[in-house]
Amino acid sequence: MSKNKTKTINISITPTKFTSLFNRLRGEKSDYEFDEILNLKKLLSQERTKLLYTIKYEKPRSLYQLAKILKRDFKSVREDAILFEKFGFIDFEKTSNGNRKSLKPVLVINSLHIIFEV
């Protein structure tokens, strides 16, 4: 049975910009600034949220298989997956099949909370 892992994004609204704080899993904390809310929307775009959903429910064995399931270009899927890894949403497990090595994307959060502080 897996633990519930929650990612919290705190966004403080100031007169000039939005500042967000991503509380990393494993106790690490990293600050990220968004010049505008549009960047947060880009991070959680429909295509990218489909990627998270597919990782959770389809459990692809590799990034290549994930791209095939999503019917998207491998390079775009890889870039999106690396972005989600940076923000602590997914991790990669190294796997091998004979001589071929691949990265298996694994979702490490169960929920995402976005808090707007005004």
pLDDT tens-place string over residues 57-104: 999 999 999 999 999 999 999 999 998 998 889 999 999 888 989 999
Assign 36 a pLDDT band (cuts: 50, 70, 90).
low
Contacts by 71-77, CB closer than 8 A, 24 or more apart:
72/47, 77/51
Per-residue pLDDT at 38: 65
Domain ranges within the chain, ordered by starting residue? 6-117
- pTM, 2 dp: 0.74
Any idea of the CA torsion for 65, 91, 21, 17, to the nearest 10 degrees?
-30
pLDDT tens-place string over residues 11-33: 666 655 544 444 444 444 454 55
Q: How far apart are CA 90 and CA 78, in angstroms?
A: 12
26: which 2 tokens?
A: 């494993």
What number does CATH give the domain 6-117? 1.10.10.10
